[in-house]
């Protein structure tokens, strides 16, 4: 899964959670393949940073579930 996939999934999940146009920065965690950091700029409803794990073979549903679980925790 690449950065564009993670971004597309994150935007869709965050829209479901009530953020219509989230401003995101997505970076792969240095030295840790398959780990991504999602910064949500200007977010006042939930956390500003999410950390997810996904690698080869990960599904969009797995990524979406991690984002929703962390955002609503």
The alpha carbon of 12 is separated from its chain's Cα centroid by a whole number of angstroms, namely 10
pLDDT by residue for the chain (73 residues), tens only, comes to 899 999 999 999 999 999 988 899 999 999 888 999 999 998 777 899 999 999 888 999 999 999 999 999 9
- Residue 70 has a pLDDT of 95
């Amino acid at each position: 899964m690449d950065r564009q996939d993670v971004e597309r999934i994150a935007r869709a999940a965050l829209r479901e959670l009530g953020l219509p146009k989230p401003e995101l920065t997505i970076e792969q965690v240095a030295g840790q393949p398959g780990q991504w950091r999602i910064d949500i700029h200007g977010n006042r409803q939930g956390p500003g940073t999410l950390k997810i794990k996904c690698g080869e073979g990960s599904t969009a549903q797995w990524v979406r579930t991690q984002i929703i679980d962390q955002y609503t925790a």
